[in-house]
Structure 1
């Protein structure tokens, strides 16, 4: 098990990486603003849970395939791109309607938002490579099983993501009442903004390299 000195370095380093604005955080904030606090929390939990998959992949050595195989990297990457564009298309279909206050608009439930966050994280090979590079730096042979140490480190990293992203999702959700009070036009603007977020994330992922 990692000793106390390792945790003193690992936790601040993890927090610094988590709070840096990135695609996951942008996606989370957009969901919270559009859907509310509970939606923000559900999305945060989904994004965090995806880290457990990448932790397992790094621990078992599976994630190394994305470093060594261009085909595997591209396959997962474009699966993620396709998923993001699918989400953009879903929002685009209802962009001309009033989000949040019309029964004809399909508003995703919390379970679906959790799955969206989870899949967005899992289908990003850059995250897999991050865990493969980051976790081993804090695992020491003299401290026992490297695999167990990496699993513990990945679990703690995920808990930190839950806390930080949960707070961010909750805060973003507090802005939704303000958006609703601004009327139908603002809700449409919010919907188109969300479409833009999905498309921007898809482009960013499509341009990602190993």
Structure 2
């Protein structure tokens, strides 16, 4: 099916992309720092789930249909920005109330962080375009069904993302734990909210790629 050389090149490209700082990395690190390693891993799992959905959209042609409609890019990015602002508010308000009442920071369920990460990734128009443009570059129509090859490549992206973000969450959670014990900080939501607002601004000023 897929040649060994192509598979190796694809893995190298995916690893390079994972190592490049971006919104997914910021989402995992910020949640691991604010709520612990488990929260960061939940965020990483949500991103991997979104990758699988993006793969499904690419294989079925849904991504191409969405990208072909000119207003789609702006609608998705503004919806994503609004969602991130809402997450920032949700992150800071309960923690501020807890701090003013001298209570421990309000824990966030891992399932909720999973859903937030997945939806945040799905509302990133560059992620949709990435799967639609990046995956087909490695497909060889002479080596079997194109849709199956796309599915395999998308699955690899999801697995690599899950492993990479899991390690990132572990390291970030441990580092944040040491810093919290040293500083005595009890309002981790402030840093998380700042990251979410920064990602929202990034989406607002995002330019549509020429390749789209």
Please indicate, yes or no, whether the TM-score normalized by the shorter chain is above 0.5: yes
Aligned length: 206
Deviations 1:129-158 (A, max 9, x none): 001110001100101111110000000111
Matches within 5 A, 1:165-184: 165-182=165-182
Deviations 1:177-199 (A, max 9, x none): 22432455x333x3222111010
Deviation of the 1:93 alpha carbon: 0.9
Pick closer, same or farther for the CA change 1:163–1:121 going to 2, 3 Å.
same
Give distance in 1, aligned partners of 2:13 and 2:99: 42
Give distance in 1, aligned partners of 2:68 and 2:207: 12
Give distance in 2, aligned partners of 1:17 and 1:88: 26
Give distance in 2, aligned partners of 1:11 and 1:33: 28
Aligned to 1:194: 192
Aligned to 2:106: 106
**Tell me, what secondary structure is at the counterpart of 1:208?**
coil
Aligned to 1:141: 141
Deviation of the 1:72 alpha carbon: 1.7
Structure 1 stretches of 4+ moved >6 Å: none
**Tell me, what secondary structure is at the counterpart of 2:71?**
helix
Deviation of the 1:66 alpha carbon: 4.0
RMSD: 1.8
Structure 1 unaligned runs (5+)?
none
Q: TM-score, normalised by structure 1?
A: 0.91
Aligned to 1:52: 52
Aligned to 1:63: 63
Give distance in 2, aligned partners of 1:129 and 1:108: 31
